Structure 1
Amino acid sequence: MTLEELGYNDTFEKLRKENNLEDFEIGRIIAEHKERYIVKNEKGEFEAEITGNLRFTAKSREDFPVVGDWVTLLNCNADFVIIHSVFPRISMLSRQAVGKFGETQIIAANIDFALLVQAVDRDFNINRLERYLTICYSSKVSPIIVLTKTDLIEPQNLNEIVENIKRRIMNIPIFAISNETKDGYDSIKGVIEKGKTYCLLGSSGVGKSTLINNLSGKNIMKTKSISKSTNKGRHITSHRELSVIDSGGILIDNPGMREIGIIDSADGLENTFDKIFSFSKKCKFTDCTHRNEIGCAVIEAVEQGEIDRKSYENFLKIEREKDHFDLTVAERRKKEKSFGKMVKNFKNDMQKLSTKHNNLNKK
């Protein structure tokens, strides 16, 4: 397999030259298992880990490799290789780390498109779609909506779902498919381009792994049925994994996400809720929060039915989460700065004591 088939292109070659990485062999991260990686290039697949220097100089988890990253390699003629450095990323899908306030979790890197997968029989939720869209726009990734399990509902119900999406979400491709009957597959296969990378986002049990298997014509990913007792998806995909299918498309399966925490995403919000931002320019006050101000054009548009009320409420909720995340990050950085200053002062005091002690000994 060539590097181009793994998604390498002129953009990455330019980054390689600009960062003086031409003397290294390179590969792409196709899987991650607790900071142990699988890297693939034209020579094959290798187990890998990062250098001690890369680990030591990393300022946060974001500096570590993730699935989709291009990396430079050492010792590439052995079964086990060392990751020397990570290429600058052209895109990065991220969300709030679950249970870790103020921290970011990278979902995958160097993504061209995100397939936002929802099952129409039980999982469908436009509010969640808007959250996924916000993440995509913040990450400079083009979204595509994929509705699965269409064989489990009536055509009339499916049409209503599609129309509801279009009323709130504009200019995003929507594909309705059945993993069982393969209805809709001819259409979605048409958007999978050779050399482009697609990351699947969605809850457990919506059919992401089955979709990859059907598109590839092989059983690449493990699948399992929905739990009959809870009607919820079971976590089969336990880690992110990149696969190249016969058509040339590059697909990344992703564990089901129950929580979609929004991080610093001003651009993402503006693109997802563009109608709200368009009306906000007419507000009486430039710092209008669109919650209860007199002269708010957004509130007026909601009351007149020009902005969908549920979309407006979802916007306010996501914006509050974003503001809380920004505040948490600022507080954490303040604490880190204070701790760093304390450590520096401690080292200076110890050095002074040591110097004083040495001078006394000389006397």
Structure 2
Amino acid sequence: MTIQDLGYNDNFEKARSENDLENFEIGRVVAQHKERYIVKNEKGEFEAEITGNLRFSAKSREDFPAVGDWVALLTQDYDFALIHSILPRYSVLSRQAINKFGELQIIASNIDYSIIVQSVNRDFNINRLERYLTLCHASKIEPIIVISKTDLTNEPHLDNLLKKINARVKNIPVIPLSNKTKVGINELKKLLYKGKTYCLLGSSGVGKSSLINSLSGENLMNTDDISKSTDRGKHVTTHRELIPLINGAILIDNPGMREVGIADSPGGLESTFEKIYDLMQDCRFSDCTHTSEKDCAVKLAIENGEIHESYLENYLKMEREKTHYESTIAEKRRKDKNFGKMIKHYKKTKNPDKY
């Protein structure tokens, strides 16, 4: 296997040269376990850690390696490597860090397409689907929607789910499939291109691990049966992992995400809720909140049946999250700046001759 088989291209090689990293080996992070990494290149797989300098210079969690990153490293004996630098990323899929508001959690990097998986049973949620789409649009990543486990439902119910999606989502491939019967698998394979990296997104138990097995033609991932008491699949994947497929595409698996927090998402909401942004232009007031104002074009569209009220409600909820996140970031930066000034003042008072 070459690094090109893992997605390496001329753009990364150019970045390697521009950052004076020619003396280092290059590898891609294929798995992450807290602060330990598995890096892969043409020599094989290596367990890796970051250098102390890289750790010291990191200002936030975004400055640490993530699955999908290309890194400059030095390999050592016993299949071990030290990561010295991260090559510039061309895309970053991220969300709000859980229980750490104001911080980002990188889901994966250097992604071309995202496969959003929802199952036909109790997992299906159009509002959550729009959250995933917003993450993708904000990162300039092309989404593909997969509706899994179609063998568990009948045709009328499936048609109803597809109508709900088509009413609120436009110009995005939607593929119903079954990992059990293999219906729809070939249609999805047609969208997997050599050298492109795909990221799987979805809740626990929607069939992501089974989908990997279907796409690879091998039993690469452990799977569990559906719980009869909850009608849900069990959580199987526990960490992010990069998997090269036979046709040359590269797939990143993710643990199921219960929370999809919207962060700083320029363009994300505008792309997901394009209908609302178009209607806003016709509102009477430029600062219309689309709740109780007179001559609100968005509310009028709901009354006329052009859009569903839940579509607006989901947009407003995510817009509030985005605004709150941005204000939290601004407050965090202000506090960090003030703390820096305090430290500088302390040092100046302690050692006046140096300042």
TM tier, smaller:
over 0.9
Alignment-mate amino acid for residue 249 of structure 1: A
1:11-48 CA distance string (max 9 Å, x none)? 22222233232332101000011111110011111111
Q: What's the counterpart of residue 237 of structure 1?
A: 237
Deviates more, 1:48-57 or 1:325-334: 325-334
- 1:21 matched to 2:13? The reply is no
TM norm structure 1: 0.94
1:230-265 CA distance string (max 9 Å, x none)? 334432211000010112111111000000000011
Deviation at 1:76, TM superposition (A): 5.5
Deviation at 1:117, TM superposition (A): 0.1
Q: What's the counterpart of residue 54 of structure 2?
A: 54
1:256-305 CA distance string (max 9 Å, x none)? 00000000113000000001101111222223222222232222222222
Matches within 5 A, 1:85-104: 85-104=85-104
Aligned to 1:22, the other structure's residue is in SS state coil
1:103-126 CA distance string (max 9 Å, x none)? 110000000100000001221111
Aligned to 1:74, the other structure's residue is in SS state strand
Distance 1:278 1:29 in 2: 40
Distance 1:334 1:223 in 2: 47
Deviation at 1:316, TM superposition (A): 0.6
Deviation at 1:193, TM superposition (A): 1.1
- 1:212 matched to 2:212? The reply is yes
1:64-85 CA distance string (max 9 Å, x none)? 0000000011235662111110
- 1:292 matched to 2:292? The reply is yes
Aligned to 1:75, the other structure's residue is in SS state strand
Distance 1:15 1:294 in 2: 53
Checking the alignment, whether the CA contact within 8 Å between 1:203 and 1:233 is kept in structure 2 is: no
State the percentage of identical aligned residues: 62
Deviation at 1:347, TM superposition (A): 1.3
Alignment-mate amino acid for residue 212 of structure 1: I
Q: What's the counterpart of residue 278 of structure 1?
A: 278
- 1:137 matched to 2:137? The reply is yes
Deviation at 1:142, TM superposition (A): 0.4
Q: What's the counterpart of residue 183 of structure 2?
A: 183
Alignment-mate amino acid for residue 33 of structure 1: H
Deviates more, 1:168-177 or 1:157-166: 157-166
Checking the alignment, whether the CA contact within 8 Å between 1:30 and 1:67 is kept in structure 2 is: yes
Q: What's the counterpart of residue 121 of structure 1?
A: 121
Checking the alignment, whether the CA contact within 8 Å between 1:47 and 1:79 is kept in structure 2 is: yes
Deviation at 1:194, TM superposition (A): 1.2
Q: What's the counterpart of residue 35 of structure 1?
A: 35
Alignment-mate amino acid for residue 30 of structure 2: I
Checking the alignment, whether the CA contact within 8 Å between 1:132 and 1:260 is kept in structure 2 is: yes
Change (3 A) 1:300 1:222: same
Alignment-mate amino acid for residue 130 of structure 2: E
Checking the alignment, whether the CA contact within 8 Å between 2:46 and 2:75 is kept in structure 1 is: no
Checking the alignment, whether the CA contact within 8 Å between 1:25 and 1:76 is kept in structure 2 is: no
CA RMSD between the two structures: 1.5
Aligned to 1:68, the other structure's residue is in SS state coil
Alignment-mate amino acid for residue 61 of structure 1: R
Distance 1:16 1:184 in 2: 40
TM norm structure 2: 0.96
Distance 2:123 2:186 in 1: 23
Alignment-mate amino acid for residue 145 of structure 1: I
Alignment-mate amino acid for residue 89 of structure 1: R
Alignment-mate amino acid for residue 105 of structure 2: Q
Checking the alignment, whether the CA contact within 8 Å between 2:121 and 2:231 is kept in structure 1 is: no
Distance 2:36 2:277 in 1: 43
Q: What's the counterpart of residue 68 of structure 1?
A: 68
Checking the alignment, whether the CA contact within 8 Å between 1:117 and 1:200 is kept in structure 2 is: yes
Tell me how many residue pairs correspond in the alignment. Answer: 354
Aligned to 1:262, the other structure's residue is in SS state coil
Distance 2:260 2:308 in 1: 22
Q: Which 5+ residue runs of structure 1 have no aligned equivalent?
A: 356-363
Aligned to 1:269, the other structure's residue is in SS state helix
Max radius of gyration: which structure?
1
Distance 1:298 1:83 in 2: 51
Aligned to 2:227, the other structure's residue is in SS state coil
Checking the alignment, whether the CA contact within 8 Å between 2:243 and 2:251 is kept in structure 1 is: yes
